[in-house]
Amino acid sequence: MLVTILAMIALVLAISYWLFREAIYGKPANRWQRADANLAIYEERTSAIDENEATLETADEAKRLLLADAADAKRESKNESSKPFIGIVSVVFVSILGMLGYLYWGDPFAASLDTIAQQLQVATQMEAGPKKIAELDTIIDLLERRNRSRRGNSASATYLTHVYFLKGDYDSVVETHRKAEELGRTSLNSDVERIRAEFVLNNGLMNDDIKRISNRIEELDPGNPIVMQTYGLDAWRLRDFLKARYYFERALQHDEEISPASTAILEELIHRTNAQLPAHHIAIVVNVNIASLEFANTWLIVYVRSTNLLQPLALVKRPFARAEQYSLVLDDAVTTANSYSLSEQQKVQVIARLSRSSSLLTEDTIIEVQSRWVDPRDAPDLTLTLDPQKPVLKTFTAVVELADHINMDEGEGEFVYIFGAGIDENDSPLLVKKISVTELPTALMLGTEDFTLPTSEFPDEGLNLFARLSRTGNTTRQTGDSESKSVLVKAGDTVRLVIDQPVSETSEH
């Protein structure tokens, strides 16, 4: 509406300026006209001719021609004087057309969306009751009128769907959204409220409309919490609790549209779903005790890793973490690797983390702890404590394994040493970690607490890390030992060390 008015004002100003210019510069000026020039030529010629008859006749003929030209010039001047009148008529005509078009397409009496948004904000803050319902009805009337006009669009249709949803009129939500679909005026938000209303009206059962609209939402917003919750409730109704867990947990991993209220609902649904799992279900139960929290909007992230997979094997997240004990279940429902399943692994480790970000690839970790290595098939029950008051240690993860062609005798003297030194070749090792060869393959979380000097800090440039299989059991490099290649590792990295290079007398690391 405002844009239309400004455009009309600009048009009127432009035409008014044109008329002003025409009035100033379009007037007949006191300049040399063609008739004046003809008369001057006539006087000049008649003064120079002889007084004979032929010459006079010639002069009379010249006079007649010059006077005819002067008459023509006066007629041309009279025609030019009608131009301002044509301009005024044009301005009036264009203005009338603009006003008619504005009244037809603009509907100046329809409320603006800004005004409606302000009214809606006030209404949502009101306590439930007749007064709030009356205010919502007023907003509905404004939106209905706007949608019936030429100014109706996707935004006004979305607002109308939302207000009906706030009022609890789910039938009108469905009907309004259906009309918006016919006009191509749907949006992601209106789609979400349509499936919520449909699900309630259909007594918690899926139908073709819910599936169709949910698929459309999934294309635009994968993992949308409302869609995942709807799918999860449907799976619960069908008593497919593993699939229900998958959908509920996936909803909590959506870090953009999840709210504290939705988080509380989903956590309760997950708790009830976990209670329905059979006793023989292969899973790791992790009790995470958060001692304290200093930051708001903190994420609790718990994941599983195995010795043969660097990326997380299974993952759960809890937004808006609280200082309390969480009971989490890690199973095949939350597996992140398509070609791996947790129930098939024999040796895994659980890592719990508090972070200001929901991403695993972040440097905003507040604190992180790891469990012992366990076999998921033994149904282990682990307890991990996260205390942000403790200083954060800079750590990295090293996955150590033997190549297939390296023989492992598993004798008493065989150990594996992991060395970490500065990037300078002359630097002495800052880190030396000794493990039994029987533990391979394994994944180790190493850091400053494993340094030979406890006061040492983790170098910003990183460490040169390598592993050595010692046949004699000591740290001295000898013929017959085997080593991995040296890799550069920095705090927060995960690296793989494959012991595949036999040591000879002439070889150098």
For 240-270, the pLDDT digits (tens) are 999 999 999 999 998 776 889 999 999 999 9
CATH of range 395-502; options 3.90.226, 1.10.10, 1.10.260, 2.60.40: 2.60.40
Better-predicted residue by pLDDT, 322 or 100: 322
What the block records as the tokens of 115 is 């005004």
What is d(CA 204, CA 179) in angstroms, rounded to the nearest whole number?
23
- SS3 track for 428-476: CEEEEEEEEHHHCCEEEEEEHHHECCCCCCCCCCCEEEEEEEECCCCCC
Predicted pLDDT of residue 94: 65
Domain ranges of the chain: 2-106, 150-275, 284-386, 395-502
| Mean pLDDT, rounded, for 5-18 | 68
Candidate from 34-48, 161-175, 322-336, 342-356 with smallest mean pLDDT: 34-48
Predicted pLDDT of residue 77: 46
What percent of the chain is modeled with pLDDT above 70?
75
For 149-159, the pLDDT digits (tens) are 777 889 999 99
- Residue 486 burial (C-beta neighbours within 10 Å; 0-12, 13-18, 19+): middle
Tell whether domain 284-386 is in CATH 2.60.40: yes
Dihedral Cα 56, 59, 61, 67, nearest 10 deg: -140
Lay out the sheet containing 309-318: strands in order across.
309-318, 299-306, 348-355, 365-370
| Mean pLDDT, rounded, for 16-37 | 58
pTM of the entire structure? 0.67
Answer whether residue 301 shows pLDDT above 60.
yes
For 121-148, the pLDDT digits (tens) are 898 889 989 999 999 999 999 999 888 8
Does this chain's domain 284-386 share its CATH topology with 395-502? yes
For 179-208, the pLDDT digits (tens) are 999 999 999 999 999 999 999 999 989 999
What percent of the chain is modeled with pLDDT above 90?
41
What the block records as the tokens of 369 is 């702890």
351 contacts 369 by C-beta, under 8 angstroms: yes
* Strand bridging mode 415-421 / 429-436: antiparallel
- List the one residue out of 313, 472, 502 whose CA is nearest residue 403: 502
Answer whether residue 288 shows pLDDT above 60.
yes
In this prediction, residue 235 has a pLDDT band, given cuts at 50, 70 and 90, of very high
Structural fold of domain 150-275: 1.25.40
Answer whether residue 470 shows pLDDT above 80.
yes
For 30-88, the pLDDT digits (tens) are 555 555 666 666 566 656 555 555 554 555 655 555 555 555 554 444 444 445 556 56
* Strand bridging mode 494-499 / 395-402: parallel
